[in-house]
């Protein structure tokens, strides 16, 4: 049995970057800052998110930097070769299947004013 499920709640680290393809597909990418429950550090963990289709369109319309969201998806790795060194590189990316817009409208107004 295999299981690859990631569930996170955090704040958008930047406005979503949206790309539309001639095929009609749409992809949306941005980062998510998640506070770690630890007394030793107050630095968040950062995650790269990728969403497709209707989920991507909703994120593009409603998510902005600082917005509190919840996501559920799966972990994947992107692989490429560094142009300068030729070294193989990789990074983890969360492929989001479900997006929850959290917080109140008042929270949204405050988070937009702060950034």
Q: Is residue 44 a part of any domain in this protein?
A: yes
Q: Is residue 87 a part of any domain in this protein?
A: yes
Q: Is residue 115 a part of any domain in this protein?
A: no
Q: Is residue 68 a part of any domain in this protein?
A: yes
pLDDT exceeds 60 at position 114: no
Residue 110 pLDDT: 47
Q: Nearest-CA neighbor of 60 among 28, 30, 31, 93?
A: 28
pLDDT digits (tens, 9 = 90+) for 33-71: 998 877 676 788 999 999 999 999 999 999 999 999 999
Q: Residue 18 sits in which domain range?
A: 6-109
Total number of domains constituting the chain: 1
Cα–Cα distances in angstroms (integers) from residue 23 to residues 29, 53, 71, 104, in the given order: 18, 12, 26, 36
Residue 113 pLDDT: 41
Residue 25 pLDDT: 95
State the Rg of the chain over Cα: 16
Residue 80 pLDDT: 92
The token pair that represents 20 in the structure block: 């539309």
pLDDT digits (tens, 9 = 90+) for 64-100: 999 999 999 999 999 999 999 989 999 999 999 999 9
Q: Is residue 13 a part of any domain in this protein?
A: yes
Q: Is residue 1 a part of any domain in this protein?
A: no
Residue 89 pLDDT: 93
Residue 41 pLDDT: 67
CA distance linking residue 6 with residue 97, whole number of Å: 10
Q: Is residue 53 a part of any domain in this protein?
A: yes
Residue 111 pLDDT: 46
Q: Is residue 114 a part of any domain in this protein?
A: no
**CATH number, domain containing residue 50:** 2.40.50.140
């Amino acid at each position: 049995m295999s299981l690859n499920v990631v569930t996170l709640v955090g704040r958008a680290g930047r406005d979503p970057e949206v790309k539309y393809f001639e095929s009609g597909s749409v992809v949306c990418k941005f980062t998510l800052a998640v506070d770690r429950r630890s007394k030793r550090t107050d630095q968040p963990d950062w995650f790269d998110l990728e969403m497709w289709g209707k989920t991507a369109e909703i994120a593009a319309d409603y998510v902005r930097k600082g917005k509190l969201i919840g996501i559920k998806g799966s972990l994947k790795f992107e692989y490429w070769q560094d142009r300068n060194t030729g070294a193989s590189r990789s990074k983890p990316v969360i492929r989001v299947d479900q997006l929850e817009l959290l917080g109140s409208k008042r929270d949204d107004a405050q988070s937009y004013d702060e950034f």
